[in-house]
Chains A and B, each alone.
Chain A
Amino acid sequence: MDAAVLAIWVLRLLFLAMLYAFLYLVVKALVRDLRAAAREPTTELGRLVVLASPGGEPAPGASFALDAITTLGRDVNNSIVIEDKFVSATHAALTYRGRAWYVEDLGSTNGTFVNGGQVDGLSPLAFGDEIQVGQVRLRLERARS
């Protein structure tokens, strides 16, 4: 009888041990996945989110992944085409140099504004800054990880 009780006791603990063996393997796999994800490089440098756009093109709420050089304007050859009557054909350019973003007015008629102030030549840009071209407001955001 005692041998049977002992055997049942061992079996019972073995079942609990199996649960933890499973959890151990799963957690090991999860940690490996996390490490692999941390090594993956992100190619995206930043995002531009449209806050307000009376013309509807680009749509409010749209978000663009940015290359190192992104141009804004009404001409179809711009990276981001803005359909607004106060926007010039080639209005402004966003460039990523070193480790920072810059905005530059490309000789537009109505100017480019950062956080309400007009840009004169090359102006540094931080994440969270608001850019206005014509009636369109956009915000620079960090790349999604």
Chain B
Amino acid sequence: MSALTPTPASLRAVTGVQRRFRITPRFRGRELVLLSIVGFGLWVGALSLGATRRLKDAIAEGGDVPANLFQPAMPNIILTYVAALFVVHALFVVAGRRTDQILLPAVGLLGGIGLLLMIRLPQDLAGRLGGLGLTQLVWLLIGLAIIAVLGVAVRNDVWLRRYKYTWAAAGVGLLLLVFIFGNETNGARLSLTIGPFSGQPSELLKVILVVFLAGYLSENRPLLVEESTRIGPITLPPLPYLAPMVAMWAIALGIVIVQRDLGAALLFFAVFLLLLYISTARVSFVVLGVGAFIVGASVLYFLFGHVRQRIDVWLDPFADPTGAGFQIVQALHAFARGGLLGTGLGNGLPTIGGRPPIPALHTDFPFAALGEELGLVGILAILGLYLVLLERGLRIALAAQDEFRAILAAGLSLVMGVQAFIIAGGNLKLIPLTGITLPFVSYGGSSLLANAVIVGLLIALSERTREPLPPPRRAGRLRRLFDRGAV
């Protein structure tokens, strides 16, 4: 009998659940305005692309200006995408949380620009679902669904916070799986095929890494800040707490050696150092880390051919412009053709034998393609969008309630920002080229889904709750102090 009688605690739990899921819709005006601009802008882009294409075809055939010049290219794809953005917005409104209103439109615009590029490229370049554009649309829709689910449903972070070593173990397990079963493409062992699905686990790994680091650093931050090891006159950071740093360094080296994935290794190590600095404000960690990076990088340069080739091509791509340096030389030409305002969407260099002139354009060089067709002005706007994402993420970190959430938000946004920098810098020959994706713009499922998880978590973390009321002050404590003459 007593087992069937509900206890007060379980009653409270039941009412608590009911209260938590009561829904009060909240208007999100800023998001609505920005999304309208995104929708209109993408429509203009599709119109521009369609008109340019029709006119070029007409000129090629020697005919007159076609009557249906101003019709957008693949309107159904663009319309579906914009509609999906508004559906996510509607879900957020119905859920009524006080979350960030800028991330979704900014990500929506980046994804839309990527979609326009995929529509513009030859459709048989990649993709299983009848063409590049359609496949990218499907991945974008799944990504938006992830953002919507995380942004609406994630209300507490215990499942991330409590199981940090479980997450780390899962990440290392994922890495080992790739080491053993990964498929090689272009000499890099990146992708993993399980049944009908194939993906790049390093994309998911970057999210897991940030979750683990946020848990570890928020717990050990005061010790990392306070303790130090003295060797003679040199003050070093506390050596016992450096163990994870050394482990991180070893993992990054392992990725380079076994997976030959320079981009992921660079991304992981850079984000790790940035988070270490953010959580401790100690420059000595950064100096040590950069030192370790230089040592590791120079050893790898002399030991491994693929690393040496990347660096040599970066230093002088024109030494072998038709061979090793082909990709980067073509990208530089594309930027040069684009100039200030670009050639216009659909008006870039004609494809050579049905292929764009830059190999792996849709995954590794979308930035160069956009540089050609939108010009310097266009790619500056795209870089501006990444800066906006970064600023929002860091603001969410500043406003976070505790250190775990702060480091998590900072890490998630830095992963996106650093990744965009690494690949944009690689395309521009600012840093050695590494094959990672431009977040939300590049073609590819793993990258889109992992970045959608990042943005979904950021939106969930950005919820501004009202400050809880301070507990009623006990009269006894003050009275006692006065009695003793302390105040």
Contact = CB atoms under 8 A, between A and B. Distances in A.
Interface of A: 1, 4-5, 7-9, 11-16, 18-23, 25-27, 29-30, 33-34, 37, 49-51, 60-61, 63, 69, 71, 77, 79, 90, 93, 95, 104, 106-107, 139, 145
B487 A19 contact: no
Contacts, number: 125
A113 to B, nearest CB: 17
Interface string B154-177: 000000000000000000000000
Contact of A51 (B65, B106, B222, B377): B222
Contacts of B33: 25
B48 A8 contact: yes
B109 A22 contact: yes
Interface string B220-237: 111100100000000000
Contacts of B381: 16, 19-20, 23
A45 B199 CA distance: 50
B388 A23 contact: yes
17 contacts: A11-B70, A12-B48, A16-B374, A16-B377, A19-B382, A21-B37, A23-B384, A26-B106, A29-B102, A30-B388, A37-B395, A49-B222, A69-B478, A77-B474, A90-B484, A95-B487, A145-B398
A106 B481 CA distance: 9
Given A26-B388, A30-B392, A106-B484, 13 more contacts: A4-B65, A11-B44, A13-B341, A14-B48, A18-B37, A18-B40, A23-B385, A27-B388, A30-B391, A37-B399, A69-B487, A71-B486, A90-B480
B322 to A, nearest CB: 32
Given A25-B33, A30-B102, A37-B399, A7 B41 contact: no
B388 A11 contact: no
Contact of A25 (B34, B226, B374, B382): B34
Given A16-B377, A19-B109, A71-B477, A11 B486 contact: no
Given A11-B48, A19-B381, A1 B478 contact: no
B472 interface: no
A80 B331 CA distance: 62
Residue in A13, A26, A50 whose Cβ sees the most chain B Cβ within 10 Å: A26
Interface of B: 30, 33-34, 37-38, 40-41, 44-45, 47-48, 51-52, 55, 64-65, 69-70, 101-102, 105-106, 109, 219-223, 226, 341-342, 344-345, 374-375, 377-378, 381-382, 384-385, 388, 391-392, 395, 398-399, 474, 476-478, 480-481, 484, 486-487
B465 to A, nearest CB: 15
Contacts of A22: 34, 37-38, 41, 105, 109
Nearest to B218: A61
Residue in A12, A107, A145 whose Cβ sees the most chain B Cβ within 10 Å: A12
Contacts of B55: 4-5, 8
B378 A16 contact: yes
A15 B40 CA distance: 9
B291 to A, nearest CB: 27
Nearest to A137: B226
B223 A61 contact: yes
Nearest to A20: B381
Contact of B222 (A14, A27, A50, A104): A50
Contact of A106 (B40, B341, B478, B486): B486
Given A16-B374, A25-B33, A9 B344 contact: yes
A96 B247 CA distance: 44
A14 B46 CA distance: 12
Contacts of B377: 16
Contacts of A93: 481, 486-487
A29 B106 CA distance: 13
B237 to A, nearest CB: 16
A29 B223 contact: no
A5 B52 CA distance: 8
A15 B41 contact: yes
A11 B481 contact: no
| 8 closest residue pairs by CB, A with B | A18-B41, A19-B381, A12-B344, A61-B222, A11-B48, A4-B65, A15-B45, A15-B44
A77 B480 contact: yes
B431 to A, nearest CB: 25
A4 B53 CA distance: 12
B11 to A, nearest CB: 30
Contacts of B474: 77
Contacts of B374: 15-16
A11 B51 CA distance: 9
B410 to A, nearest CB: 14
A88 to B, nearest CB: 12
B342 to A, nearest CB: 8
A25 B41 CA distance: 14
Contacts of B341: 12-13, 16
Contacts of A61: 219-223
B220 to A, nearest CB: 7
Contacts of A60: 222-223
A80 to B, nearest CB: 12
B477 A63 contact: no
Contacts of B109: 19, 22
Contacts of A29: 30, 101-102
A61 B280 CA distance: 13
